[in-house]
């Protein structure tokens, strides 16, 4: 499973001009399932996200996780958006190939599983809409952008 994490001051996702998911300070995860992925990769991705210490502490060091964003026990938001283009392969020319992405049925099932797990373990979760034409708006914080891959 491939992920791209961005720290955000705020983020929202729209479909057809309507906001369907929105968070304040926290983390935006763009995520793509790969053909060999199972629910285990969704579980590992969430575990990594919730524990990833990439938010600044009072000394300005990346030492806080999503679960303790402000240092006072207030968690940050998590916006999860499916993005099959993270599996793009551009080695064969100028037009990317997306054969590295899971088939749509598997991708949807793993995205839904990741979302369900996240909603059960974190209080502030919002989501995009799998397979839809989405517009993602964000104010990147830092900027901090980190690629993740779990196997």
3-state SS class at 11: strand
19 catalytically annotated: no
6 catalytically annotated: no
55 catalytically annotated: no
- From the number of C-beta atoms within 10 Å of its C-beta (0-12, 13-18, 19+), residue 33 rates as buried
Cα separation, 29 vs 58, in Å, equals 24
Choice among 38, 85, 135, 145 that is catalytic: 85
Q: Which residues pair with 35 in a beta bridge?
A: none
Choice among 6, 41, 67, 84 that is catalytic: 84
Choice among 6, 41, 67, 83 that is catalytic: 83
Question: Mind telling me the catalytic residues?
Answer: 83-85
């Amino acid at each position: 499973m491939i992920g791209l994490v961005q720290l955000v001051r705020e983020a929202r996702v729209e479909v057809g001009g309507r906001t369907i998911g929105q968070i304040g300070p926290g983390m935006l995860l763009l995520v793509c399932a790969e053909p060999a992925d199972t629910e285990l990769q969704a579980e590992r991705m969430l575990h990594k996200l919730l524990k990833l210490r990439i938010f600044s502490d009072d000394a300005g060091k990346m030492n806080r996780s999503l679960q303790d964003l402000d240092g006072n026990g207030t968690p940050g938001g998590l916006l999860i958006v499916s993005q099959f283009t993270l599996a793009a392969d551009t080695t064969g020319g100028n037009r990317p190939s997306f054969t590295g992405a899971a088939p749509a049925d598997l991708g949807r099932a793993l995205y839904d599983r990741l979302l369900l797990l996240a909603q059960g373990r974190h209080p502030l979760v919002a989501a995009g809409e799998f397979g839809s034409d989405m517009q993602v708006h964000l104010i990147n914080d830092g900027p901090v952008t980190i690629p993740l891959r779990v196997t």
